[in-house]
Structure 1
């Protein structure tokens, strides 16, 4: 069952008839859809908050779809992009996918191909949002640690035992155990493996 309630799809295509046909198709499947007749019109009000994706014509007057994609990448947008392309533009679309675009569809394509591509893009967007929410939650928990608890955490993540941590920090094993217990509680970690996985994943995503 699709979860479309909070998601939004932007269609950017200068061909009004084609754009309207895509709007009708997606709206008939209970998606929230907004159409734009140019890349410039889309950029005027775009904010990449929440869950969504772009269905983007690769060739348009003015700013092309490829240039729009590059602009969004430069702005740090992580919204999935599905390119719509004619036969002659397939090599460009392939290069765009290699640079991070989600997918491309070559005209003419059937309705189910578009629906499948959109649902795949929205699933990717939801996954990214969930990962970001988890990272922020870990960041908040890390910020709640005292400096000593943070030192203990860092050494636990390095795989050091309590006795070694106590020797390196110049404190007793009981004090290490106390700090470690409080640190685990604040981090909401059920085990050391859980703690290590969450903190390492947070750091890989650019966290503390």
Structure 2
């Protein structure tokens, strides 16, 4: 399937018959599928920034699945990983999950279990993209604040009152109220609680 609106699944497995079977199965389930016979082949390919996940064989020669996961983590990849292994190793699965794997399945895997794992991984990716988009919007709003408004913003979200802020900045309370109103308007929030939440998302507190 070549419909670019469909979610993309990267299948990385050195077992050629299985790779072909997974390609056919997942294509029939409504996914776009790209297959790779090694971690190196995957790393050489251009990876588009779109709704996708990785179906990754744990036991491969040269670079195994966990090593690829480590490499992707170091390069700040956010594509969810679903591991496949022919050897049910509990210790390995725990290690992979702690490193951020979305799921860990044993071969042979049932169709329903596989699709469920992929859908879960894609949903996590959607949530990440949504959060990233929200943060980008907040940063754009925050960039509109003047230097003095940034000072007032930081004091307000830490719970300081108008008269305290006015005293610390050498301003009148009326000036601080005006600055607070401008901050709320630029940040597009209607309450101090929402402003505090925005500050947390921005890492300001």
TM-score by length of 1: 0.91
Q: Distance in 2 between matches of 1:31 and 1:186?
A: 41
Counterpart residue number, 2:182: 182
Q: Distance in 2 between matches of 1:11 and 1:139?
A: 35
Counterpart residue number, 1:126: 126
Q: CA deviation at 1:158?
A: 0.5
Contact 2:88 2:106 in 1 (8 A): no
What pairs up with 1:65-84 in 2 under 5 angstroms? 65-84=65-84
Moved more, 84-93 or 144-153: 84-93
Q: Distance in 2 between matches of 1:202 and 1:106?
A: 40
Counterpart residue number, 1:194: 194
TM-score by length of 2: 0.92
Q: CA deviation at 1:15?
A: 1.2
Contact 1:11 1:34 in 2 (8 A): yes
Q: Tell me the matched-pair count.
A: 202
Q: CA deviation at 1:90?
A: 4.0
Instruction: Structure 2 unaligned segments of length 5 or more: list them.
Output: none
Counterpart residue number, 1:92: 92
Contact 1:138 1:199 in 2 (8 A): no
Q: CA deviation at 1:7?
A: 2.9
Counterpart residue number, 1:51: 51
Instruction: Structure 1 unaligned segments of length 5 or more: list them.
Output: none
Please list the CA deviations of residues 146-205 of structure 1 after superposition, one character each: whole Å capped at 9, or x if unmatched: 0011111101100111111111111011111111111111101121111111220221xx
SS in 2 for 1:83: strand
Contact 1:81 1:121 in 2 (8 A): yes
Please list the CA deviations of residues 20-65 of structure 1 after superposition, one character each: whole Å capped at 9, or x if unmatched: 1111121112112111111100001243623211000001122111
Counterpart residue number, 1:24: 24
Pick closer, same or farther for the CA change 1:29–1:6 going to 2, 3 Å. Answer: closer
SS in 2 for 1:87: coil
Counterpart residue number, 2:157: 157
Q: Distance in 2 between matches of 1:92 and 1:125?
A: 23
Q: Distance in 2 between matches of 1:19 and 1:89?
A: 21
SS in 1 for 2:53: strand
SS in 2 for 1:158: coil
Please list the CA deviations of residues 85-112 of structure 1 after superposition, one character each: whole Å capped at 9, or x if unmatched: 1235442122111221111101122100
Task: Give the superposed CA RMSD.
Answer: 1.7
Q: Distance in 2 between matches of 1:39 and 1:154?
A: 46
Counterpart residue number, 2:11: 11
Counterpart residue number, 1:105: 105
